[in-house]
Amino acid sequence: MTPTLPDDFEERFWRRHSNPKSGWSRTVLLPALLFAVYHRKPRLAGAALLFTLLNPILFSPPKDDDAWMSRVVLAERWWTRERKAGVFDRTYPNWLNLVNVPVSVYAFVAAYRRRPLRAGLAGALAMALKFWYVGALVRRYDAADRLEER
C-alpha cells in the first residue's frame, strides 16, 4: 500500500525528531520555561515554546538509531502507536507521567511565586521522572526489538 501524504509527513517527522540533537536540545525546555516564569520574561517563554514546536523538523534524520536519545523517540512512538498504550494510564511506566503532572505544576507555581529552591527541586524531580519514564520505554523497546530479531 502506498503511503498517503499525511502518513509520509508523519514518518518524516518522526525520523527527523529521532535525531539525538532534537531530543537532547528539548531537555532544556523545562528549565527555560521555569526561568521565564520566575523572571517574568514572556518573550523567553514564547521563544522556548516556539522552539518546542519547530524542534522536531529542525534536524535531519539520524544515520542510525544507535544513540540512546534516538531510541527514546522511537520507543515513545512504538509505545503509543504500535503497542497502542496511552501515556497517562495507571500502569508502569505510565504512572510516572501521572506523578509528573502535579510535580511540574508545582514547579511552575513555585517559579511564579519566586521560590527558586522549590521551583528548582520540583523541576529537577519532573525531569528525573521524565527520564525514568523514557528509560523504561527504551528498555521495553530494546527488549521487544531483540525478541523480533530471533
CA quadruple 24, 82, 10, 149: dihedral positive or negative?
Answer: positive
The residue with cell 519547530 is 54
Helices 5-17 and 68-77: crossing angle, nearest 10°? 150
User: What pLDDT score was predicted for residue 4?
Assistant: 62
Taking alpha carbons only, the member of 73, 60, 64, 82 closest to residue 134 is: 73
Query: What was the pLDDT predicted at 139?
Result: 96
**Averages of pLDDT over each 10 residues, the chain, 150 residues:** 68 89 96 98 98 92 94 92 80 93 99 99 99 97 79
Query: Residue 1 has what pLDDT?
Result: 52
**23 Cβ contact list (under 8 Å, min separation 6):** 17, 69, 70, 72, 73
Domain boundaries, the chain: 5-149
The predicted pLDDT at position 6 comes to: 74
Q: How far apart are the first and last CA of the chain?
A: 27
pTM confidence score: 0.88
